Amino acid sequence: MSEERSLNFLEEIVEEDLAAGKNNGRVLTRFPPEPNGYLHIGHAKSICLNFGLAQRYGGQTNLRFDDTNPSKEETEYVDSIKEDVKWLGFNWANEFYASDYFDNLYEFAVGLIKKGLAYVDDSTAEEIASQKGTPTEPGTPNQYRSRSVEENLQLFAEMKDGKYPDGAKVLRAKIDLASPNMLMRDPLMYRIKHTHHHRTGDKWCIYPMYDFAHGESDAIEEITHSVCTLEFVSHRELYNWFIEKLDIFPSKQYEFARLNLNYTVMSKRKLLQLVEEKQVEGWDDPRMPTISGLRRRGYTPASIREFCERIGVAKRENMIDVSLLEFCIREDLNKTAWRRMAVLDPIKMVITNYPEGQTEMLFSENNPEVEGGEGGRELPFSNELWIEREDFMEEPPKKFFRLGVGLMVRLKSAYIVKCESFVKDADGHVTEIHCTYIPESKSQNDTSGIHVKGTIHWVSVPHAKTAEVRLYDRLFKVEDPSNEDGDFKDYINPNSLQVLNNVYIEPDLANAIPGKGYQFMRKGYFTVDKNPAADKLVFNRTVTLKDGWVKK
Ligand code: ATP
Ligand code: MG
Could you tell me if 103 and 245 lie in one domain? yes
pLDDT digits (tens, 9 = 90+) for 52-70: 999 999 999 999 999 998 8
Q: Cα torsion for 165, 166, 171, 177, to the nearest 10°? A: -120
pLDDT class for 408, splitting at 50, 70, 90? very high
Query: pLDDT > 90: what percent of the chain?
Result: 93
Structural domain count of the chain: 3
Q: How far apart are CA 78 and CA 267, in angstroms?
A: 17
Closest ligand to the CA of 32? 1
Q: Tell me, using a 6 A CB cutoff, whether residue 258 lines ligand 1.
A: yes
Q: How far apart are CA 84 and CA 37, in angstroms?
A: 12
With CA atoms as reference, report the closest residue to 89 among 259, 291, 264: 291
CA distances from 418 to 351, 352, 408, 436 (A): 9, 11, 4, 5
Which residue's CA is the nearest one to ligand 1's atom 2?
Answer: 267
Helix (H) or strand (E) holding 119: strand 118-121
Could you tell me if 46 and 164 lie in one domain? yes
Q: Tell me, using a 6 A CB cutoff, whether residue 272 lines ligand 1.
A: no
Closest ligand to the CA of 39? 1
Could you tell me if 107 and 240 lie in one domain? yes
Give the per-residue pLDDT at 74.
Answer: 84
Mean pLDDT, residues 75-83? 95
Whether the pLDDT of residue 418 is over 90: the answer is yes
Q: How far apart are CA 451 and CA 410, in angstroms?
A: 9
CATH number, domain of 413, equals 2.40.240.10
Could you tell me if 132 and 221 lie in one domain? yes
Query: Looking at 258, 280, 309, which one is the last position of a domain?
Result: 258
Ligand 1 center–CA 278 separation, angstroms: 23
Which residue's CA is the nearest one to ligand 1's atom 16?
Answer: 43
Ligand 1 center–CA 226 separation, angstroms: 13
Q: What is the DSSP letter of 70?
A: T
Mean pLDDT, residues 167-188? 98
Whether the pLDDT of residue 547 is over 80: the answer is no
Could you tell me if 115 and 141 lie in one domain? yes
Closest ligand to the CA of 49? 1
Could you tell me if 105 and 126 lie in one domain? yes
The mean of the pLDDT values for the chain is 95
Could you tell me if 46 and 135 lie in one domain? yes
Asked whether residue 552 is domain-assigned, the answer is no
Could you tell me if 420 and 485 lie in one domain? no
pLDDT digits (tens, 9 = 90+) for 246-297: 999 999 999 999 999 999 999 999 999 999 999 999 999 999 999 999 999 9
Asked whether residue 4 is domain-assigned, the answer is no
pTM confidence score: 0.94
Whether the pLDDT of residue 549 is over 90: the answer is no
Q: Tell me, using a 6 A CB cutoff, whether residue 32 lines ligand 1.
A: yes
Which residue's CA is the nearest one to ligand 1's atom 29?
Answer: 258
Whether the pLDDT of residue 86 is over 80: the answer is yes
Could you tell me if 143 and 240 lie in one domain? yes
Q: Is 550 exposed, middle or buried (0-12, 13-18, 19+ CB in 10 A)?
A: exposed
Whether the pLDDT of residue 414 is over 60: the answer is yes
Could you tell me if 179 and 199 lie in one domain? yes
Q: Tell me, using a 6 A CB cutoff, whether residue 500 lines ligand 1.
A: no
Cβ proximity of 293 and 287 under 8 Å: yes
Its sign, for the CA torsion 4, 6, 8, 9, is positive
pLDDT class for 550, splitting at 50, 70, 90? very low
Give the per-residue pLDDT at 73.
Answer: 67
Asked whether residue 432 is domain-assigned, the answer is yes
Query: Looking at 408, 434, 457, which one is the last position of a domain?
Result: 457
pLDDT digits (tens, 9 = 90+) for 25-52: 999 999 999 999 999 999 999 999 999 9
Q: How far apart are CA 433 and CA 387, in angstroms?
A: 9
pLDDT digits (tens, 9 = 90+) for 457-498: 999 999 999 999 999 999 999 999 999 999 999 999 999 999
Tell me the binding residues for L-glutamine. Answer: 66, 210
Give the per-residue pLDDT at 536.
Answer: 85
- Domain with 401, as residue range(s), is 342-457
Q: Tell me, using a 6 A CB cutoff, whether residue 131 lines ligand 1.
A: no
Ligand 1 center–CA 40 separation, angstroms: 9
With CA atoms as reference, report the closest residue to 466 among 516, 503, 422: 503
Query: Looking at 225, 240, 258, which one is the last position of a domain?
Result: 258
pLDDT digits (tens, 9 = 90+) for 286-329: 999 999 999 999 999 999 999 999 999 999 998 999 999 999 99
Asked whether residue 549 is domain-assigned, the answer is no
Active-site residues, by number, are 34, 258, 268
- Please identify every residue whose CB atom is under 5 Å from ligand 2, which is an ion: 34
Q: How far apart are CA 432 and CA 66, in angstroms?
A: 62
Ligand 2 center–CA 312 separation, angstroms: 22
Could you tell me if 297 and 244 lie in one domain? no
Give the per-residue pLDDT at 3.
Answer: 54
Q: Tell me, using a 6 A CB cutoff, whether residue 46 lines ligand 1.
A: yes
Asked whether residue 551 is domain-assigned, the answer is no
CATH number, domain of 496, equals 1.10.1160.10
Asked whether residue 548 is domain-assigned, the answer is no
CATH number, domain of 36, equals 3.40.50.620
Asked whether residue 263 is domain-assigned, the answer is no
Q: Tell me, using a 6 A CB cutoff, whether residue 289 lines ligand 1.
A: no
pLDDT class for 546, splitting at 50, 70, 90? confident
Could you tell me if 67 and 28 lie in one domain? yes
Ligand 1 center–CA 42 separation, angstroms: 7
Asked whether residue 550 is domain-assigned, the answer is no
Instruction: State the angle between helix axes of 210-221 and 236-246 in degrees (0 to 180), rounded to the nearest 10.
Output: 60
Which residue's CA is the nearest one to ligand 1's atom 13?
Answer: 33
